[in-house]
Structure 1
C-alpha cells in the first residue's frame, strides 16, 4: 500500500523481518492508543479494566490464547465486524514485543461529537500525563501491572518513544456532510469538512501536550462502494466519492503536514486505507470473498464470504488483512516488527 511519512526532528529506525510474534519481555512494552469510530471500536471505555501483560486488550479480554481472538465471542459482540478488528489483530498477532491496547474509539463518533469525548474525557483524565500531574512531560507515569491478583506494578511507564497514537476518523463526518444525511444540501463538502478538521487537529495538539510523539493516521476507504451508499443510486455514489477525495487527497494530507512541521519531535504516517479497500473490492474472489456487494448484519453468524458485515462495515476477515498490511507502514513510527512473513 502507498503511505507517506512526515518526520519533524526525528529519525526512523529500521527493523529486522520476523516470522511470528515474540513475547520478548526484554523489549520495551509498546502502548497503542487508538481513537476513532465503529471501524475501530472494541467496547473499551473509561470504566474498562486497564490493559495488562496478561490481558493486553483490557476489555474485551483475550480468547483462549493470545493468538486466538476468535475464541472469545464477546469480542464479536462488541465490534462492527462480527469478529476482531484491526487494533486487536495488531496487538495480539502482528508485532514482536508486548503491546498494550487502549482503544478509545466510539461507535458513531464524528468530529467533534464522540471523537472529542474520547480524547478529552476518556484518555486525558485516566491515561495521559495530565492524570499523572506531569503536564507536558513526555514520560507518562501509568503503572503497568502484570495482571496478578495483587495487581503489583512492573515499574514501567509509557513515553513518547514507546507509544503510538492511531486515529481513524472521518467516516461519519462524510455521512453528516453528504446529501444522504445532511439537512443543508446546499452546503458543499468544501465548507462542511474543514471546520471538522480544525477541531480534529486541535485535539492532536492536546495529545502532543500530553506526551504523544508518534502519530498513525488512516485515511478514508471508498465509502461510495458501501452498500448503504450505492444502493441509493449514482447521485449519492458521486457525492460520497467527492467527499472522500477531498478528505484524502487535499484536506487530511495538508493538516497532517502542518501539524508535523509545527510540533518538534513528531513522527507522522498516513496509511492508505482507500487503496487497500479498493484493491480487494476490485477483485474480491482473489482475496477469498464471494463478491463486493453482499452483506449480512452486525451480530449475525451466518455471513458466507461477504466483504461487508452490514451495509457500511467490513467483516473481520477484512480487518485481519488490513492489520497485516498496516504493519510495514507502522514500523516508521516505532511499531515492533515489519510485515510478517506468512
Structure 2
C-alpha cells in the first residue's frame, strides 16, 4: 500500500501533499469527477480509454469548454510519465448534489450521480480497467457551480451541507477501493469577466473563501477516519493568478477577452478558462504528484 500523504499548508489556506514514498509504475488509472471546468463529454457506454486514446470517447480533446484540452487531458496526454487511462465522469453544470444546490437545469448528473456511475461500472474492476489501489488516482474538481448558484442565498449554510455530502461521497469511493485522491479547490471565479462586475461579487468571493478554508480541515477529518487514504489538495489560485498577472505571456492581449478557440484569449467564454489556464492547472497537479503518478 502506498504511504500516506502528509499535508503542507500554504499561505493561501489550501494545501498540497508531500510526495509518496514510491512512484507508481506501469499503466495508471485516473478517475475524474467534476463540472464544465473538467468535462470532456465522456460516456461510460462508449469507447473505453486505451493506448490509442487514453481519454476514451469522444476523440481528443473531447467536447470541452476550453477550446481544447482540459486539465485531465493535459495530464493524460502531455504530462504523463506512463500510460494513464482516464475515465472522466465530469459533466458541465454539475454540483455536488442536486438536492443541496441544483444545477442550472434538471437532469445534470451531480458528483453524487457521477460517483454512482463509477460504482456501478468501475468498482467491480472490469477487464478493460483492472485498476488497483496503488495504480488508481481519483481526481475531483467541484464547487464552482455550488457557490456560483447559491452565493446570493444562504451561501455559508449551503457550503457546509455541500462539503458534508462531498466527503460522504469520498467515503463511498474509499469503500470501493480508492486510496489516492487529488482534490482541487475552487479557483477565483470572482475574477472571471462574467463575475467580476457582478454587484454581489463580494458575496461570491466570501463563499469561495469559505469553501477553500474548510477543505483542509475536512481532509484531515477524512484521513483520520480512513488512515489508508492519500490525499492531495491542489490550490488552483496560483495558476489562475499567473495567467491573470501576465496574459500576454499566455497568448492573450488582456485579462478580459474571450474566444472559443481557447488560445488567443485567457477565456473560452466569459466564465470558462481557455487552454492556457487549463494547462497551468494540470501542471500544478502534476507537480503536486511529481514522481508518483506524473
Q: Which residue of 2 is the match for residue 331 of structure 1? A: 290
Map residues 33-48 of structure 1 onto 2, 5 A cutoff: 33-48=31-46
- Determine whether 1:115 maps to 2:111: yes
Q: Kindly indicate whether the alpha-carbon contact (under 8 Å) linking 1:294 and 1:307 is maintained by their aligned counterparts in 2.
A: yes
Map residues 198-237 of structure 1 onto 2, 5 A cutoff: 198-232=164-198, 235-237=199-201
In our comparison, the structure showing a higher alpha carbon Rg is 1
- Determine whether 1:246 maps to 2:210: yes
C-alpha distance in 2 between matches for 1:238 and 1:39: 22
C-alpha distance in 1 between matches for 2:127 and 2:50: 10
Instruction: State the Cα deviation string for residues 131-160 of structure 1 (Å, max 9, x = none).
Output: x3xxxxxxxx3213xxxxxxxxxxx72111
State which of 255, 261, 266 in structure 1 corresponds to 2:218.
255
Q: Kindly indicate whether the alpha-carbon contact (under 8 Å) linking 1:33 and 1:102 is maintained by their aligned counterparts in 2.
A: yes
Q: Kindly indicate whether the alpha-carbon contact (under 8 Å) linking 1:224 and 1:236 is maintained by their aligned counterparts in 2.
A: no
Q: Kindly indicate whether the alpha-carbon contact (under 8 Å) linking 1:5 and 1:267 is maintained by their aligned counterparts in 2.
A: no
1:14 is displaced (CA, Å) by: 5.6
Change over 3 Å in CA distance of 1:325–1:245 after alignment to 2: same
State which of 123, 133, 137 in structure 2 corresponds to 1:164.
137
Q: Kindly indicate whether the alpha-carbon contact (under 8 Å) linking 2:36 and 2:92 is maintained by their aligned counterparts in 1.
A: yes
Q: Kindly indicate whether the alpha-carbon contact (under 8 Å) linking 1:230 and 1:236 is maintained by their aligned counterparts in 2.
A: no
1:173 is displaced (CA, Å) by: 0.4
Instruction: State the Cα deviation string for residues 272-295 of structure 1 (Å, max 9, x = none).
Output: 101221222122223332111111
Map residues 135-174 of structure 1 onto 2, 5 A cutoff: 141-144=125-128, 157-174=130-147
State which of 63, 66, 76 in structure 2 corresponds to 1:91.
76
Q: Kindly indicate whether the alpha-carbon contact (under 8 Å) linking 2:33 and 2:114 is maintained by their aligned counterparts in 1.
A: yes
C-alpha distance in 2 between matches for 1:284 and 1:55: 31
1:203 is displaced (CA, Å) by: 0.4
- Determine whether 1:12 maps to 2:23: no
1:324 is displaced (CA, Å) by: 2.1
SS at match of 2:45: coil
SS at match of 2:20: coil
C-alpha distance in 2 between matches for 1:111 and 1:320: 24
Q: Kindly indicate whether the alpha-carbon contact (under 8 Å) linking 1:218 and 1:271 is maintained by their aligned counterparts in 2.
A: yes
Aligned-pair Cα RMSD in Å: 2.2
So what's the TM-score if we normalise by structure 2? 0.86
Q: Kindly indicate whether the alpha-carbon contact (under 8 Å) linking 1:226 and 1:312 is maintained by their aligned counterparts in 2.
A: yes
Q: Kindly indicate whether the alpha-carbon contact (under 8 Å) linking 1:163 and 1:212 is maintained by their aligned counterparts in 2.
A: yes
C-alpha distance in 1 between matches for 2:221 and 2:173: 15
SS at match of 1:32: strand
Q: Which residue of 1 is the match for residue 106 of structure 2? A: none
SS at match of 2:256: strand
Q: Kindly indicate whether the alpha-carbon contact (under 8 Å) linking 2:185 and 2:212 is maintained by their aligned counterparts in 1.
A: yes
1:304 is displaced (CA, Å) by: 6.4
SS at match of 2:139: strand
C-alpha distance in 2 between matches for 1:212 and 1:281: 35
C-alpha distance in 2 between matches for 1:262 and 1:143: 31
Q: Which residue of 2 is the match for residue 271 of structure 1? A: 234
C-alpha distance in 2 between matches for 1:258 and 1:27: 30
Aligned pair count reads 272
Map residues 190-201 of structure 1 onto 2, 5 A cutoff: 190-201=156-167
Unaligned runs of 5+ in 1: 16-25, 63-68, 70-74, 133-140, 145-155, 180-184, 338-342
So what's the TM-score if we normalise by structure 1? 0.74
Map residues 58-73 of structure 1 onto 2, 5 A cutoff: 58-62=56-60
Q: Kindly indicate whether the alpha-carbon contact (under 8 Å) linking 1:6 and 1:260 is maintained by their aligned counterparts in 2.
A: no
